[in-house]
Chains A and B, each alone.
Chain A
């Protein structure tokens, strides 16, 4: 809950509602991107960007290397597994297992 988890923005779900689809270790989840959106710029520019996701909100843009290093630590301390599990079981909107990883 506190540490968040890195994910990659794969598409914009609803630009007006500031929602994007984020791939987190193979689980797709709709995420609010208002905190990483640059005012005045199209959300489409975010597709492909890595973000730190905290309880369904993208809170920070990170680079791919940082994302990989963070995921490794989260896996080692067991937090990635519980975060992904929480995402799987606690998501009310349907999630789709993704093919990209």
Chain B
């Protein structure tokens, strides 16, 4: 109980942990493997590590860290495309800082910048639009990245650019959508996941209804959760209760932020601006049908893929990288032979080591607490 005292309500946390332990003990009999609970969101992954939740919970509960870190699932080929666009002399390439260090097959955006490409870190797509207004003689390309949490912001920026008649702004759209991704995971025959902790902020945008198929078609419980340790413990308890009672339902632990209907204005902008791509390539997961979006025809002038000839080559990850297995929960990060040696947060080989929400970076950063796991690996 090293960390419980830091929690907002330590007594409540202890109570939740006790109750989780009691249910797990009742259910453990007759099981030959731990309960595998996948947290979909990279933010949850980070919080689980930071608060050492796994150490507070009975051994029969295992978190499987899901693919919900958009930086981590960006394939190398797309990074190469970014670099190719950024290296054009007329282009100012605007990106979130998170994407700067993701390795491409030639170089990262950071390396491209060092080599003279005009790459700018922006906080918001609105800043990219401001750069376009300020630099009318340049082409400003914004690197659109993320799930439904950031998807509306890019869409609303495109709508704003259209309203203002800005002609030197476009988006290299790499937004991905969560539902087909979860479906693809669930359809994997060897996926041993018992239940899901659902993403809070994606759900705040899309609402609860899109998740129903997880319970109805696949019989798995999901609880949409907040980010506080108490939230995560409560969500875990809700999941275990469902498992014990043999139910599968989609429940909302984070109702104080996530309305059941989502955010209609945000979804309206998303529907207006994007259409599904037939297929989109993910690092480690391969191609997933209808998992990515691109700009619709009426917004073609804002689509960097149509404005510039993008090479769009597919590049396989280095053979020694185990990012795919780690992403799907089949391998723990420290079991990758590159972990901590050839692949570190300072010099990442795989994208899971780049963002603090990636599970390899999280294991690496909080490795000190998990020494027992690491012994014998290094």
Where the two chains meet, the residues of A that have a C-beta atom closer than 8 Å to any C-beta of B are 1-4, 17, 29-30, 32, 34-35, 37, 52, 54-57, 59-60, 62-63, 66, 69-70, 72-74, 76-79, 82, 86-87, 89-93
Contact = CB atoms under 8 A, between A and B. Distances in A.
Given A1-B96, A35-B266, A73-B47, A66 B124 contact: no
Contacts of B229: 73
Contacts of A37: 265
Given A89-B121, A90-B124, 16 more contacts: A1-B145, A1-B150, A2-B146, A2-B150, A17-B160, A29-B123, A35-B152, A56-B153, A57-B126, A59-B152, A76-B6, A76-B51, A86-B97, A92-B122, A92-B127, A93-B127
Contacts of B125: 55-56
Contact of B146 (A1, A62, A82, A92): A1
Contact of B265 (A34, A69, A82): A34
Interface stretch (B38-46, B167-175, B309-317, B318-326): B38-46
Interface centre among B47, B126, B128, B147 (most CB of A within 10 A): B126
A35 B256 contact: no
Interface of B: 6, 8, 41-43, 46-47, 50-51, 68-71, 96-98, 121-128, 130-131, 134, 145-147, 149-150, 152-153, 156, 160, 201, 204-205, 227-229, 256-257, 263, 265-266, 269, 356-357
Contacts of B127: 56, 90-93
A89 B127 CA distance: 11
B124 A59 contact: no
Q: Which 3 A-B pairs have the closest CB atoms?
A: A56-B124, A90-B123, A92-B127
B98 A1 contact: yes
Contact of B256 (A1, A54, A66, A82): A66
Interface centre among A17, A34, A59, A78 (most CB of B within 10 A): A59
15 contacts: A2-B41, A2-B42, A34-B156, A34-B265, A55-B124, A56-B124, A60-B257, A86-B121, A90-B96, A90-B123, A90-B127, A91-B124, A91-B127, A92-B127, A92-B134
Contacts of A56: 123-127, 153
Nearest to A30: B126
A35 B123 contact: no
Nearest to B200: A3
